[in-house]
Structure 1
């Protein structure tokens, strides 16, 4: 346990910052999971809309130094690649002209 006043203050600051950072990290994870679930369910238009929110949340977490900026870029890149792969994998509906 901390003995000095400065060490006790450090513990208090760390607890506050951990609680604050948990919000940003958790919401980023939630959005990424939502996008992956929508891609798996083949709801690509909805996944693209939620992906936009995921990108914003990841950027915000990186801006606030909750996650490393390269970590955010890597996650966004993987989401974009997954969306692109899902788009090319699904057959495009052709219009019925006869």
Structure 2
């Protein structure tokens, strides 16, 4: 365990940031899963709506620094490709 005051502060800050990042990543996974299930069911309209929401959530996660911008681009690209294939 840390003895120095600044080290104790860093531990608290890290825990806070970890919890925030985990929540954001979980939200992204949920929205990605919604798109994937709509694609599996071949429901074009639901997939397009879910894709729009997922893109928004993914971009927000990228702007907050949870994901690298290229990771966001890759996720969006793969989802878009999947939706376009059923359309």
User: If the length of structure 1 is used for normalisation, what is the TM-score?
Assistant: 0.84
Q: More deviation in 73-82 or 21-30? A: 21-30
Instruction: State the superposition RMSD in angstroms.
Output: 0.8
Separation (CA, whole Å) in 1 of partners of 2:48 and 2:81: 12
Matched, 1:8 2:3: no
1:18 is matched with which residue?
18
In the TM superposition, what is the alpha-carbon distance from 1:37 to its structure 2 partner?
0.6
In the TM superposition, what is the alpha-carbon distance from 1:42 to its structure 2 partner?
0.9
Q: More deviation in 18-27 or 37-46? A: 18-27
Separation (CA, whole Å) in 2 of partners of 1:67 and 1:8: 26
Separation (CA, whole Å) in 1 of partners of 2:4 and 2:82: 51
Separation (CA, whole Å) in 2 of partners of 1:56 and 1:11: 31
In the TM superposition, what is the alpha-carbon distance from 1:4 to its structure 2 partner?
1.1
| Misfit runs of 4+, over 3 Å | none
Larger Rg: 1
Matched, 1:43 2:46: no
Query: SS state of the match for residue 82, structure 2?
Result: helix
Indicate the structure with greater helix content: 2
Q: Which runs of 5+ in 1 are unaligned?
A: 88-98
